[in-house]
Amino acid sequence: MRKLRNNELGRISVSEFKNTTKTPIIVVLDNIRSLNNIGSVFRTSDAFLVEKIYLCGITATPPHREIHKTALGATESVDWEYKEDTLSLVRALKSEGITVASIEQVENSVMLDHFSFESNKKLAIVFGNEVKGVQQDVVSESDYCIEIPQKGTKHSLNISVSCGVVLWDLSQKIK
């Protein structure tokens, strides 16, 4: 086997990305502290053709050197918007008929491997703060709470890892 060179990967340009049909998924970042995590979410969202990212609360916005370091240009391809209040955003998305699912460990959560959704409808997935998780009022307003099954001694994954796991799983379920 031989590793492929970048020019052999068949990647689309930023303008082609902008014109490509996106997955019906919106990512919402609820008060993310780490600029590296934000950049990683942009990069992962680019990989899975996410429609848009909302950056909420204390979540930093591009352009920023630390975001750029991990996003590797994905802040130019993936549409994004800043919203001050996550709860107001969630309510607005729901009023547009978008299903909202928080990624959180809660009573009656749905395990990711058992979660299904209508892929002809848009789904907004909310990822929370590295320490406090998704705000309780946002959890309460969500249509679903999805939990990533874990078998080890730790109770959580890094937000950028969680985003990768969730987006990969959901992309497999889109028909």
| pLDDT tens digit sequence for 88-100 | 999 999 999 999 9
Task: Report the alpha-carbon distance of residue 137 to residue 134 in Å, rounded.
Answer: 8
For residue 62, say if its preceding peptide bond is cis, omega within 30 degrees of 0.
no
pLDDT tens for the chain, 175 residues: list them: 999 999 999 999 999 999 999 999 999 999 999 999 999 999 999 999 999 999 999 999 999 999 999 999 999 999 999 999 999 999 999 999 999 999 999 999 999 999 998 878 999 999 999 999 999 999 999 999 999 999 999 989 999 999 999 999 999 998 6
The pLDDT of residue 63 is: 96
Torsion over CA of 80, 120, 129 and 72, rounded to 10 degrees?
A: -40
Task: Report the alpha-carbon distance of residue 110 to residue 142 in Å, rounded.
Answer: 12
The pLDDT of residue 133 is: 97
Q: What is the DSSP letter of 6?
A: G
Question: Which phi and psi angles does 91 have, rounded to 5°?
Answer: -65, -40
Ordered by start, the domain boundaries in the chain are 13-173
The pLDDT of residue 44 is: 98
The pLDDT of residue 144 is: 97
Task: Report the alpha-carbon distance of residue 32 to residue 55 in Å, rounded.
Answer: 8
Fold of 13-173: Alpha/beta knot (3.40.1280)
104 and 135 in contact (C-beta within 8 Å)? Answer: no
Q: Calculate the alpha carbon distances from 172 to 36, 110, 115, 175 in Å.
A: 26, 17, 12, 8
Task: Report the alpha-carbon distance of residue 13 to residue 142 in Å, rounded.
Answer: 35
Longest dimension (CA), the chain: 51
The pLDDT of residue 175 is: 66
* Helix 35-47 / helix 159-173 crossing angle, nearest 10 deg: 10
Indicate whether this model's pTM tops 0.85: yes
* DSSP annotation string for 16-40: HHHHSPPEEEEEEEES---HHHHHH
